[in-house]
Structure 1
Amino acid sequence: MTGTAIELVSPAGPGPAVEGRLTERGPGLYHLAFVVDDLDHEVHRLRAAGLLALDAEPCRGARPGMRVVFMYLPEPAELLVELVCYDRVDHPAPRVDLPGARPPGDGVGRCP
């Protein structure tokens, strides 16, 4: 692990994505995010491990050069997982390596 970040999320008003989950379950863990080098590889690997891909293809993330894919781990965990890829893997983002993930490459990510 080369870095860790914790993001606290709170709705600023009615209608955000987290509102339904907060109403149904109350406060708590919403999702985990992992920075990866190859979104396609990780989506394929995690699907084989039983996670469901919620996005048909990667989406633009909240930061420049960021692409994300959301996946869902069903019961008993019922956990939302966000895979994050930057155009460059040497982006100053915290990174937590997933077990079984490919090692960092030549500094260029494989984000679509």
Structure 2
Amino acid sequence: MATRETLFRLICCTVYIVSSASVNSNIGVNWGSQASNPLNPDIVLRMLKDNGISKLKLFDADQWTLDTFSATGIEIMVGIPNDQLSSISKNYGHAKDWVKENVTKYAREGGIKMK
């Protein structure tokens, strides 16, 4: 029961934040996909567009999310997940591979507008 209540509160807070952010197009939203009940990227995309939000900060580089936001015009900032920071900071080759897979792959015509 507590899980449903928590999910309901999270959705209500998200809707409130998204709906009140529509006043200013320079407002962005932070979103992470590592949750017990992750939101579908298609739904998040629709919420952002419906409310005129053009910036999104991701706390990980989830491929499903990045593919969904390709060619949408929404500006994306991708963060490295905490559990990968140590590995990436110690191994330059691993860091290059991460950037190639999660940033360079989408930095193309019709891709994602990344910051």
TM-score by length of 1: 0.25
Higher relative contact order (CA 8 A, sep 6+): 1
TM-score by length of 2: 0.24
Higher strand share: 1
